[in-house]
Structure 1
Amino acid sequence: MDLDLAQVRAFVLAAEELHFGHAAEELSISQQALSKRIARLESALGRRLFERGGQGVRLTDAGRRFLGPARQALAAADRAVAAVLDVHRPLRIDVWGHLYAPMRTLVQVAAHEPRLQIGHGRDLPSVVTALLHGDIDAAFGRVHPPLPRGLTHRLVRLEPVDVVLNTNHPLAHAPAIRPEQLQDSVLWTPGPLHRLDFLHRFTERFGIRDHIEDPNLGLEHCLTDLAADPRRFCLLPADVPLPPHPAVRPVPLVDPTPLYAWSLLWRGNGDHPLLAALMNAFDTEAQRNRWLEYDPTRDWLPGHHPTDTAVPAHA
Structure 2
Amino acid sequence: MAQVRAFVRAAEEMHFGRAAGTLGISQQALSKRIARLESLLGTDLFQRGGNGVGLTAAGQRFLQPARQTLAAADAAVAAAVGKDRPLRVDVWGHLYAPMRTLAQVAGRAGELVLGHGRDLPSVAAALLHGDIDAAFGRVHPPLHAGLAHRLVRLEPVDAVLSADHPLAAEPALRPDQLRGGVLWAPGALDRLDFLHQFADRFDIRNRASSVNLGLAHFLAEVAGDPQRFSLLPADVPRPEIPGLRSVPLVSPTPLYAWSLLWRTGNRHPGLTSLTAACAAEAAQSRWLEYNPAHDWLPEPPHTR
TM bracket (short chain): 0.7 to 0.9
Instruction: Give the aligned partner of residue 180 of structure 1.
Output: 176
- Assess, with a 3 A threshold, how the Cα gap between structure 1 residues 20 and 228 changes in structure 2: closer, same or farther: closer
- Assess, with a 3 A threshold, how the Cα gap between structure 1 residues 291 and 60 changes in structure 2: closer, same or farther: same
- Contact in 2 for aligned 1:7/1:41 (Cα 8 Å): yes
Instruction: Check if 1:121 corresponds to 2:111.
Output: no
Question: Could you tell me how far apart the structure 2 residues matched to 1:36 and 1:112 are?
Answer: 46
Instruction: Give the aligned partner of residue 264 of structure 1.
Output: 260
Instruction: Give the aligned partner of residue 247 of structure 2.
Output: 251
Instruction: Give the aligned partner of residue 190 of structure 1.
Output: 186
Instruction: Give the aligned partner of residue 102 of structure 2.
Output: 106
State the Cα distance separating 1:219 from its structure 2 match: 2.5
State the Cα distance separating 1:261 from its structure 2 match: 1.0
Question: Could you tell me how far apart the structure 2 residues matched to 1:136 and 1:62 are?
Answer: 26
- Contact in 2 for aligned 1:27/1:133 (Cα 8 Å): no
Question: Could you tell me how far apart the structure 1 residues matched to 2:198 and 2:161 are?
Answer: 16
- Assess, with a 3 A threshold, how the Cα gap between structure 1 residues 61 and 220 changes in structure 2: closer, same or farther: closer
State the Cα distance separating 1:209 from its structure 2 match: 2.0
Instruction: Check if 1:60 corresponds to 2:57.
Output: yes
3-state SS in 2 of match to 1:41: helix
- Equivalent residues in 2 for 1:153-172, closer than 5 Å: 153-172=149-168
- Assess, with a 3 A threshold, how the Cα gap between structure 1 residues 119 and 143 changes in structure 2: closer, same or farther: same
- Contact in 1 for aligned 2:86/2:113 (Cα 8 Å): yes
- Assess, with a 3 A threshold, how the Cα gap between structure 1 residues 132 and 30 changes in structure 2: closer, same or farther: farther
Deviation sequence 1:7-59 (CA, Å, 0-9, x none)? 222334555x4935575565465666544433322211234445668997344
Instruction: Give the aligned partner of residue 232 of structure 1.
Output: 228
- Give the % identical residues: 64
Instruction: Give the aligned partner of residue 212 of structure 2.
Output: 216
In structure 1, what residue type is equivalent to 2:256? Y
- Assess, with a 3 A threshold, how the Cα gap between structure 1 residues 74 and 261 changes in structure 2: closer, same or farther: same
Question: Could you tell me how far apart the structure 1 residues matched to 2:100 and 2:204 are?
Answer: 29
Deviation sequence 1:59-106 (CA, Å, 0-9, x none)? 436862x45543332222111111123522211211221211111111
In structure 2, what residue type is equivalent to 1:136? I
Which runs of 5 or more structure 1 residues have no equivalent in the other structure? 305-310
3-state SS in 2 of match to 1:313: coil
Question: Could you tell me how far apart the structure 1 residues matched to 2:5 and 2:86 are?
Answer: 25
- Contact in 2 for aligned 1:20/1:35 (Cα 8 Å): no
- Equivalent residues in 2 for 1:80-99, closer than 5 Å: 80-85=76-81, 87-99=83-95
Instruction: Give the aligned partner of residue 300 of structure 1.
Output: 296
Please give the root-mean-square deviation of Cα atoms over the aligned residues, in Å.
2.8
3-state SS in 2 of match to 1:236: strand
- Assess, with a 3 A threshold, how the Cα gap between structure 1 residues 287 and 112 changes in structure 2: closer, same or farther: closer
Instruction: Give the aligned partner of residue 237 of structure 2.
Output: 241
Question: Could you tell me how far apart the structure 2 residues matched to 1:221 and 1:239 are?
Answer: 18
3-state SS in 1 of match to 2:70: helix
3-state SS in 2 of match to 1:88: coil
Question: Could you tell me how far apart the structure 2 residues matched to 1:295 and 1:287 are?
Answer: 16
- Contact in 2 for aligned 1:110/1:278 (Cα 8 Å): yes
Query: Aligned residue pairs: how many?
Result: 302
Question: Could you tell me how far apart the structure 2 residues matched to 1:43 and 1:163 are?
Answer: 59
3-state SS in 2 of match to 1:255: coil
3-state SS in 1 of match to 2:76: helix
Question: Could you tell me how far apart the structure 1 residues matched to 2:191 and 2:64 are?
Answer: 32
Instruction: Give the aligned partner of residue 308 of structure 1.
Output: none
Question: Could you tell me how far apart the structure 1 residues matched to 2:42 and 2:185 are?
Answer: 53
3-state SS in 1 of match to 2:115: strand
3-state SS in 2 of match to 1:78: helix
Question: Could you tell me how far apart the structure 2 residues matched to 1:23 and 1:143 are?
Answer: 24
In structure 2, what residue type is equivalent to 1:156? V
3-state SS in 2 of match to 1:207: coil
Question: Could you tell me how far apart the structure 2 residues matched to 1:62 and 1:247 are?
Answer: 57
- Contact in 2 for aligned 1:286/1:292 (Cα 8 Å): yes
Question: Could you tell me how far apart the structure 1 residues matched to 2:112 and 2:224 are?
Answer: 40
Question: Could you tell me how far apart the structure 2 residues matched to 1:208 and 1:218 are?
Answer: 24
Deviation sequence 1:163-208 (CA, Å, 0-9, x none)? 0121221111212111111111112211222211111111111122
Instruction: Give the aligned partner of residue 313 of structure 1.
Output: 303
- Assess, with a 3 A threshold, how the Cα gap between structure 1 residues 180 and 49 changes in structure 2: closer, same or farther: same
In structure 2, what residue type is equivalent to 1:185? G
Instruction: Check if 1:41 corresponds to 2:37.
Output: yes
